[in-house]
Chain A
Amino acid sequence: MFVSRSMTIKVITVKRQSTLLEARSLMDTHDIRHLPVIDDQNNLEGIITDRDLRSAMPIRVKDKETLQAQKPDFADLKVEDFMSANPVTISPIHTIQDALLIIQKETVGACPVIDENGKLKGILSVRDLLRTFINVLGIGEPGTLICVLVEEKVGQLKKIVDAVTEENISFGSVLVARYWEKDKRALFLYLLTNNVTRVKKKMKDLNFEVLDPMQWYLEQLPKADQG
């Protein structure tokens, strides 16, 4: 999973000399919060965010007349004076995992994606990551979640995959989670079917415990509190 597959390619950008009002208008029109700042050769020069604009133009009133009246006060404000000049960037060949860790560590809402020559290739925002994960988790596809408890040893997942495959059922996703009991793992199988009774029975026949997902959740709670 590479950034290039998940990033937004049609990037809305501004120039250093653009005004903040132009930037505001672009963000409102496209419902976005981050604008990369580029030069005429598509080199990344910085980023300006919704928060930068709000700090620079602290308009609190909602009524349109006052808003229009205040606009001239801001007409001369330029993007270059308010942008972040050295934004956190990522490369198209970073993985999604890299991007998650970078965005979390740097506490930013989006990263411009640049190639090795500093040219802007795209932007990856938290929204893009959400879309990616909705896709990865198979949430959009019809299926059923089964939670299976297994011992942590080699070959367990294979048995489960084999059993599901024998039923001619496809996987939407598989998540492996730590279980509070030592040497155990909870497997969340998202199966693309309505027909899970036989799979559940097979799991039991293989001596795997099929967990009630709510039971799992409730028993997790005190653990989370102890944190």
Chain B
Amino acid sequence: MKKTGFLYDQQFLLHDTGRFHPEMAERLQMIYKGIDQADLLLHLTSIKALPVDMKWIEAVHAKAYIRRFEEVCLAGYNTFDSQDNQMCRETFEIAQLAVGGVIETARKIMAGEIQNAFCAVRPPGHHAEKDRAMGFCYFNNVAISAKYLQQQWGIERVCIIDYDVHHGNGTQHIFEKDPTVFYYSIHQHPSFAYPGTGREFEQGVDDGLGFTKNSPALPGQGDSVYKQFFENDLRPAVETFKPEMIILSTGFDAHIDDEMSDIKVTTEGYSWMTRFVVELAEKHAKGRLLSVLEGGYCLNRLPELAANHVKILLDM
């Protein structure tokens, strides 16, 4: 069995998105419940939210954006940058705690205290741009972690794999000119799904050309197409890039029962994908894998998806 970290904190439930919003606190509770009821907690290294050194958030986001987010939040507005982004007075603080927790988790992996980890955080991050909140996301948790790993631990090549059903526009744009971060996303085709980016021809810009890869799947497609994309697109790209660390943007919303998309990945399909990523991390990155929650809105399926995810990280 591996030493696997699990970041979870009740404070993440305090980010209140109001009634009827799909990105609700119950998501995390269902994830926790699934892991708890599968008797996995005793095997996991528990990690809690931590305040963050703002320099890490500023490594990705514009200072003016961070200030604007803080002001809008403290002024009591319930949306920020788009109607999609419902929030409350605590949101700014919780978003920082989420980043702080993920960075602490990354630190533990680098310090050898754990080998890999699953971070069950809210709010999610992969749509957040340098200077714009989008798609329920405020701070780009995975992008900030990648910067932290590079600047604090001297990691030269970070690979971010994103299997949330939506394209991680924020993560892509933040690193599109950066040849030291390879970004791979598999998602529902942008002509049908939010946010409308992530086409195959988006492959990076300038020095970063060739360090972004997108695999858009059509509505109705599922396990078999996803497996082909992983084998034919992801595997060779990672073999070439040879990352020293893998970060996984873990969105469970490609699941067949998740109403946010028309992609039909099964529970088994998710296990297959997670195992695939774990094996890539073992082969190239000494097993170092930082999995960070993004989307996933089917409350009935989140328990089993989270439990399976953690079991695979634990190598149980």
Residues of A at under 8 Å CB distance from B?
139-145, 168-170, 192-198, 200, 212-215
Contact of B22 among A140, A195, A212 (CB under 8 A): A195
| Cα–Cα, bound, A139→B197 (Å) | 9
CB contact list, B188-235 vs A, under 8 A: 191-197, 218-220
**Residues of chain A within 8 A of B21, CB atoms compared:** 195
**Residues of chain A within 8 A of B169, CB atoms compared:** 142
Q: CB distance B192 to A144 under 8 Å?
A: yes
- Among A140, A170, A195, A213, find the residue whose CB has the most chain B CB atoms closer than 10 A: A195
Q: CB distance B136 to A194 under 8 Å?
A: yes
Q: CB distance A213 to B192 under 8 Å?
A: yes
CB contact list, B94-132 vs A, under 8 A: 127
**Residues of chain A within 8 A of B196, CB atoms compared:** 139-143
Chain B residue total in the interface (Cβ 8 A): 26
| Known contacts A140-B196, A145-B192, A198 near B20 by CB under 8 Å | yes
| Known contacts A212-B220, A214-B218, A214-B220, A197 near B259 by CB under 8 Å | yes
Contact of B84 among A140, A195, A214, A215 (CB under 8 A): A195
| Cα–Cα, bound, A214→B195 (Å) | 18
- List 7 extra interface pairs beyond A139-B196, A143-B194, CB under 8 A: A142-B169, A142-B196, A193-B82, A193-B84, A194-B135, A194-B136, A214-B218
B6 at interface by CB-CB < 8 Å:
no
Q: CB distance B219 to A168 under 8 Å?
A: no
Contact of A194 among B20, B127, B220 (CB under 8 A): B127
CB contact list, B30-82 vs A, under 8 A: 82
Q: How far is the CB of B297 from chain A (nearest CB, A)?
A: 7
Q: CB distance A193 to B219 under 8 Å?
A: no
B134 at interface by CB-CB < 8 Å:
yes
| Cα–Cα, bound, A141→B259 (Å) | 22
- Among A142, A143, A196, A200, find the residue whose CB has the most chain B CB atoms closer than 10 A: A142
Contact of A142 among B192, B195, B218 (CB under 8 A): B195
| Cα–Cα, bound, A146→B106 (Å) | 39
**Residues of chain B within 8 A of A200, CB atoms compared:** 259
Contact of B260 among A141, A145, A197 (CB under 8 A): A197
Q: Which 6 A-B pairs have the closest CB atoms?
A: A142-B195, A194-B194, A194-B135, A214-B219, A197-B259, A214-B220
B176 at interface by CB-CB < 8 Å:
no
**Residues of chain A within 8 A of B136, CB atoms compared:** 194-195
B262 at interface by CB-CB < 8 Å:
yes
B83 at interface by CB-CB < 8 Å:
yes
Q: How far is the CB of B293 from chain A (nearest CB, A)?
A: 16
B301 at interface by CB-CB < 8 Å:
no
